[in-house]
Amino acid sequence: MQDLQKRVGAVLALAPVVPVLVIDDLAHAVPLARALVAGGLPAIEVTLRTPVALEAVRAIAAEVEGAAVGVGSVRRPQDFVDALKAGATFAVSPGSSPGLIAAAREIDLPWLPGAATASEAMALLEQGYTQLKFFPAESIGGATALKSLGGPLPELRFCATGGIGANNAREYLALANVPCVGGSWVAPAAAVKAGDWAKVEALAREAAALK
């Protein structure tokens, strides 16, 4: 468990922003990831929200040098298996469950479980998790809530995700318990659809300079 948590921590330390991607067209996966890596955001989360998500992960893992690609929206134990087979280097969930916690212990894949309350964070800490996702961040108190959690739970680190963009990312990144934030603003749907990879790279470069 400690080794897996260290590996999660290493991913979260790669850049101040983890792009959270919903990839509808498999042809976009590799050029999109290359643009993000070129802009300084090597840790990339591809959510399991589309039929091509796992194929996108497989393509990025195989073809994009320097990318640390993970699978997001993990909700079932089988998702861990599928993610590892696709070449993912980490997995992310919006929350946690007994079934997911048990499955995560049986597979060599770093996992970032989600927590929205102090009770959920404490329950995960009891299971050995010190690297968590804070979701949905803006809806559950934002940076103010995360700062409050830092007092009684100083050993926890959070990747805040949900409602975060260029306008408020710095507020989160200024906190000692937030190594990075997750967001989709660095890969706008219109730019991706148009294949405007220069735009994506420019946004990634701005995001990489946030901290």
Q: Is 120:101 a contact under the CB 8 Å cutoff? A: no
Active site residue 45: yes
Active site residue 120: no
- Among 45, 147, 155, 193, the active-site one is 45
DSSP class per residue in 175-209: STT-SEEEESTTS-HHHHHHT-HHHHHHHHHHHHT
Identify the residue whose tokens are 């101040």.
Answer: 16
Q: Give the gyration radius of the chain's Cα atoms.
A: 16
- Among 126, 133, 147, 206, the active-site one is 133
CA distances from 172 to 64, 73, 119, 166 (A): 29, 22, 21, 11
- Name the residues annotated as catalytic: 45, 133
